[in-house]
Amino acid sequence: MADPAGAPSAGPPRSSEDARLDAAIRQLKFRDPATARKLSETIARVTKEIGRSPVSVMHVCGSHEQAIAKFGLRATFPRDLNVIMGPGCPVCITDMPEVDEGVALARQGVLIASYGDMLKVRGTVQSLNDAQADGADVAVVYSASQAVDLARSTDREVVFFATGFETTAVATAAVIRGNPPKNFSVLSAHKYIPPVMEIVAEMPENRVEGFLAAGHAATITGWGIFEAFAEKHRLPVVVAGFEPLDILAGLARLVELVRDREPKVVNMFPRCVTKEGNRRAQEELWSVFRPVGGRWRGIAHVPNGNLRLRDEWAHLDARRRFTIDLSSLWDYAPPTLAADCICGNIMSGIASPVNCKLFGKECVPDTPVGACMVSSEGTCKIWHQYGGHPDLGTL
């Protein structure tokens, strides 16, 4: 929500104590309890100064949610601060038709290689694990280069089902540019984070007043990429790392910007992120991929949110190399529980896992119904792992 009514036009200047805390962060004192307490006090004080409840901010990264839950940071958040997880899990937002393409290729006799979590995610009717159980050849790899190694070890066609955001897309681009064997190709389901932040900011149901951007993605793109977004939506963006103090410092700065109604970008991860980003990685990324519009699971059509191979790499593009027969999937009935899954609302920040009637009952990590319960970066799996609702504010 841009420019919220009732917010004071300006807050008190930042104190010398705040400056000392910033300096401590820059000296890599990641887990100093005294600094953490001071930062928590700052967050509580500034949130109170905003003078309304709740103040809602969103972090756009599953790794931030993991750290928040793992280190019990929600216990330190004031109750008037609502820290929401957005669409930052690459497994969760891979759309069902993209999984369908991988399943169909596997059933057509191609050896599919992908990251482990992706095997559990259902498409319209089946997951890659289901296809494997039916006799299809599916392999778990930990990197794009490992998928290339797999292709070098066989004469069979190997398709790397490539998922993830710009960080992993750079690795995929590198292997494509690295003269992979002729029996290797890529089925790209890579996504690009900045466009989906536009979608979330424009959702009328959403009340997000500021964004905590992912430090590792900004390492590639640079923090300057968020300046136009902040100006357009009148929303502040703070780039933060993943240590507990990184997150607390990022949140402290973010609520200050909300309080002061300053829609600007602040980089709180300067040890890794620059304004320009990693230009060599950007060259690799954009020489191989082009942004196209496409759906993100449960969210919406996201203009320029999907990454597809450029024409010059068509010979390595599985979509152009094979005829993908999706009709082979329609003999299977979709799972009946899928209709009750609210992963889309959870990833948009409109609902939380405890709002889903399947959470912790029919939908658990061993038998996930929704994509958010599959990945270690999925909100539902993280909340389930840390006790159902990682709010320890009463302790």
Q: pLDDT tens per residue, the chain (395 residues)?
A: 333 333 334 445 567 767 776 666 666 567 788 889 999 999 999 999 999 889 999 998 888 988 898 888 888 899 999 998 888 788 888 988 899 999 999 999 999 999 988 998 888 888 999 999 999 999 999 999 999 999 999 999 999 999 999 999 999 999 999 999 999 999 999 999 999 999 888 888 778 999 999 998 999 999 999 999 999 999 999 999 999 999 999 999 999 999 999 999 999 999 899 999 999 999 999 999 999 999 888 777 899 999 999 999 999 999 999 999 887 777 665 556 677 888 888 887 788 888 899 998 888 888 888 888 887 778 888 888 876 554 544 33
The pLDDT value recorded for residue 256 is: 97
Q: What is the DSSP letter of 98?
A: H
The answer to whether the CB of 35 falls within 8 A of the CB of 29 is yes
CA distance 206 to 198: 12
The DSSP line for 149-197 is HHHHT-SS-EEEEEEESHHHHHHHHHHHTT---TTEEEEEEEB-HHHHH
CA distance 65 to 72: 10
Instruction: Identify the bridge partners of residue 212 per DSSP, sorted by sequence position.
Output: 59, 238
The pLDDT value recorded for residue 5 is: 36
- Amino acid code (one letter) for 173: A
The pLDDT value recorded for residue 234 is: 95
For residue 70, what are the contacts with CB-CB under 8 A and spacing of at least 6? 386
Question: For residue 354, how many other CB atoms are within 10 A of its CB?
Answer: 14
The answer to whether the CB of 106 falls within 8 A of the CB of 134 is no
CA distance 99 to 127: 7
